[in-house]
Amino acid sequence: MKALITGASTGIGRDMAKVLAGLGCDLILVARRKDLLESLKSELQVDVRVIAADLRSEEACRSLYERTKDLNVDILINNAGFGLVGAFDATDLQTELDMIDLNIRAVHILTKLFLQDFKRKDTGYILNVSSSAGFLPGPLMSTYYASKAYVLWMSQAIWEELRQEKSNVHISALCPGPVPTDFNKTAQAHSSGKGLASEYVAEYAIRRMFQKKRVIVPGLGMKFAHGIQRVLPMRWLLIFCYKRMKRKGAK
């Protein structure tokens, strides 16, 4: 099998590359930092192609697809993304537009293009990395939470379309809670808890993807939290999220 992973240079994306390599999957690794991708490539004992690309632009997304569409990709993992903490009126507009382009538009474009190919072959897996943030609104991180909600709900809608068609193509949404990676640094936030190890989340996500799960939530604590979210009033959830983000250093 062959997997294409965006955001593969660090964190969960990097660890998913290692997990898949351990299963014998060849890889196409995509991120902005070619040096980090080359370093990862040197650690893996499978065939690895490195592509440096900034997927915030539609042109780059389409170019990535054109460069890889004939390489017999079996698995697409849309992992690239970033966040930004702060009150909506105070955060930088261009940074948020870049976030929307990467967290939403890039995922949308690549999912659609590869899904069309997978359906023609009637085989393939797509794993879209959303977040526990996708389950509810996020005061002081509103754009990020909304972007992950888009990924979560779009992926589930596609899942049902494929199920109704009895397709052999499968799509999953990964919704991890806090994971100690470079995310908090990029988002200009402080960690509010230890979280799950990136290696654990990556292994769990790949295993559940192959089990054809619709929504993948690693960790018992996050599963419990998601269950609680379903029954609490939205007003309480908004207050909780606001206070949590204040602890992460939001202004």
Residues that are catalytic: 144, 148
**Listing from the earlier edge strand, what are the strands of the sheet with 2-6?**
48-52, 26-31, 2-6, 75-78, 124-129, 169-174, 215-216
Find the length of the chain. Answer: 251
Query: What gap in Å lies between CA 55 and CA 31, rounded to an integer?
Result: 8
Buried b (16+ CB within 10 A) or exposed e, 146-167: bbbbbbbebbbebbeebeeeeb
Query: What gap in Å lies between CA 42 and CA 73, rounded to an integer?
Result: 21
8 A C-beta contact, residue 216 and residue 172: yes
Query: What gap in Å lies between CA 239 and CA 62, rounded to an integer?
Result: 40
Environment class of residue 89 by beta-carbon count within 10 Å: exposed (0-12), middle (13-18) or buried (19+)? exposed
Environment class of residue 137 by beta-carbon count within 10 Å: exposed (0-12), middle (13-18) or buried (19+)? middle
Report the greatest alpha carbon distance in the chain: 50
Of 186, 148, 220, 249, the C-alpha closest to 33 is: 186
Environment class of residue 79 by beta-carbon count within 10 Å: exposed (0-12), middle (13-18) or buried (19+)? buried
